[in-house]
Amino acid sequence: MKSPVSDYLREVLDDLADDADGAVADYIPELMNADPDVFGIALTTVDGRTHSVGNDEVEFSIQSISKPFAYAAALTDRGFDSVADAVGVEPSGEAFNELSLEGDSRRPKNAMINAGAITTHSLLGSDTEQRVERALAFFSTLAGRRLVVSESVCRSELDTADRNLAIAHMLRNYGILEEEAHAVVEGYTKQCSVNVTARDLSVMGATLANAGVHPVSKERVLSRAVARQTLSVMASSGMYDAAGHWLTAVGIPAKSGVSGGLLGALPGQAGVGVFSPRLDSHGNSVRGVKVFERLSDDMGLHLMDVE
Binding site for ligand GLN (CB under 6 A): 63-64, 96-97, 114, 157, 164, 192, 257-258, 283
Torsion of CA 48, 306, 284, 277, to 10 degrees: 40
293 burial type by CB count under 10 A (0-12 exposed, 13-18 middle, 19+ buried): middle
Nearest-angstrom CA–CA distance, 288 and 280: 10
Instruction: Say whether 188 is catalytic.
Output: yes
| Nearer of residues 63 and 128 to ligand GLN, judged by Cβ | 63
Q: Which of 195, 240, 273 is nearest to 94 (CA)?
A: 240
Nearest-approach distance from CB 90 to ligand GLN, in angstroms:
19
Nearest-approach distance from CB 257 to ligand GLN, in angstroms:
4
Q: How many CB atoms lie within 10 A of CB 303?
A: 14
Nearest-angstrom CA–CA distance, 173 and 159: 23
Q: Are 265 and 252 in contact (CB under 8 A)?
A: yes
Q: What are residue 263's DSSP bridge partners?
A: 255, 273
Instruction: Say whether 64 is catalytic.
Output: yes
195 burial type by CB count under 10 A (0-12 exposed, 13-18 middle, 19+ buried): middle
Instruction: Say whether 216 is catalytic.
Output: no
Nearest-approach distance from CB 178 to ligand GLN, in angstroms:
20
Q: Which of 61, 64, 156, 202 is catalytic?
A: 64
Closest residue to ligand GLN in the complex (CB) = 64
Q: Which of 240, 272, 274, 291 is catalytic?
A: 240
Q: Where are the alpha helices (DSSP H) in the chain?
A: 4-16, 66-78, 80-86, 114-122, 128-143, 151-159, 162-173, 181-192, 198-209, 224-237, 243-249, 286-299
Instruction: Say whether 27 is catalytic.
Output: no
Q: Return binding residues for substrate.
A: 64, 114, 157, 164, 188, 240, 258
Q: Are 206 and 215 in contact (CB under 8 A)?
A: yes
Instruction: Say whether 109 is catalytic.
Output: no
Nearest-approach distance from CB 171 to ligand GLN, in angstroms:
14
**φ and ψ at 195, to 5 degrees?**
-80, 135
**φ and ψ at 220, to 5 degrees?**
-80, 115
Q: Which residues are catalytic?
A: 64, 67, 188, 240, 258
